[in-house]
Structure 1
Amino acid sequence: MSNLSNTMLTPTPNSIRALQAISIALLTTTAGASASLSIFLVPRLMESPTPLMVGQFLRAVSSARRRLTIPLILPGILHAYLAYLVPVKARMYVIAATLTLSTLPWTHFAITPLNRELEGRIMTLDAEEFETAHQLVDSWATRNLYKPVVNFAAGIIGLYAALW
């Protein structure tokens, strides 16, 4: 019990607080940005003519990939480091890191194939392809929701660990 009491009374160093704040801020803001692609952008794109929709979708995804990849991965690394620095909270930080980093294989196996298929179809869109393109974009939007959900959950776990 005295070990736990001493841990609770010892103030957390500013360097650890900074890592906690950065990881929480990145996770929650990028979760919102990623969710907005599925919730706001894709439904508006679906209203566009198919060739325009596919082109805009691919440009939006490319832009999001450039801007969000590091902010989506960095918190996983920070949480893993926090697990090392704060052993008493390691379990929560490992869970947060695992959730965050799980978006990498998810993106590789569930989302990248859809992007490649759409890139291939953009050149040969005919009436039949229009329906398929809409289905692919809709499927992408649904699969993309994994990332903001797990990143938001990891952010909440990180926040809990920081406040506990």
Structure 2
Amino acid sequence: MSDSPSPTTLRLLQSTALLLSSLSAGTVLTISTFVVPRLLESPTPIMLTQWTRTYARGAATVPAAAATSAAAYLWLGLCGSGGKGGRLYLAASALTVGIVPYTVGIMLGTNGKLKALEERVGVKAVREKGEVALEEEQGAKRLVDWWGVLNLGRAGLLIAGTVCGLVATL
């Protein structure tokens, strides 16, 4: 491995890392600020199904994009740039990949409760055309709203990672 990357490789990695971390941040932020409020307007069984589908789509795309971005930032921090820029790339990598432990440590319980509610309430109400008990409905709405708040933490990590990467690049 050479001492320094080619200018083309450096720019490609910088662009990839910045693009993927900023797209991930925008996606996560959009879900909390635009999607969750719309979900809360829906009847509970539909809201829970929509949340489950939204969560599944996000889980299938955002972590992979964030991991790719974090890997590029890590490479830039270790091999591509020394000094303050290198430390900022390492910080960008840690912040970007930080959504994984954040999700596991802070959001997993809420995610599990919502998935269980969707299985119990969503399917039953749709199949039986039954009414959802007011207590369950209020609990489900509170959980989706709380999930949206917790999700802002992931957006914050991704935004902070993108800012660190951008400052290091400039």
TM-score (norm. length: structure 1) = 0.87
* CA deviation string 1:20-63 (max 9, x = no partner): 11000111111111111100001001001111111111111111
Question: Does 1:116 pair with 2:112?
Answer: yes
Which of 83, 86, 89 in structure 2 is aligned with 1:90? 86
CA RMSD of aligned residues (A): 1.7
CA distance in 1, matches of 2:41, 2:96: 32
Which of 146, 154, 167 in structure 2 is aligned with 1:160? 167
* CA deviation string 1:101-159 (max 9, x = no partner): 21111011222221111111221453211111111101100000112222122112111
CA contact (8 A) 1:58 1:115 kept: no
The SS at the match of 2:113 is helix
CA contact (8 A) 2:77 2:89 kept: yes
Which of 53, 58, 61 in structure 1 is aligned with 2:55? 61
- Amino acid across the alignment from 1:160: V
Identity %: 30
* CA deviation string 1:80-104 (max 9, x = no partner): 1111112232211111111112111
- Amino acid across the alignment from 1:95: A
| Residues 55/11 of structure 1: CA separation in 2 closer, same or farther (3 Å cut) | closer
Match of 1:3 in 2: none
Task: Specify every segment of 5 or more residues in structure 1 that has no aligned partner in the other structure, as ranges.
Answer: 1-9
CA contact (8 A) 2:63 2:100 kept: no
1:39-78 paired onto structure 2 within 5 Å: 39-78=33-72
Q: How many residues align?
A: 154
| Residues 129/81 of structure 1: CA separation in 2 closer, same or farther (3 Å cut) | same
Task: Specify every segment of 5 or more residues in structure 2 that has no aligned partner in the other structure, as ranges.
Answer: 122-131
Match of 1:103 in 2: 99
CA contact (8 A) 2:89 2:164 kept: yes
CA deviation after TM superposition for structure 1 residue 11, in Å: 10
Q: Which runs of 4+ in 1 moved over 3 A?
A: none
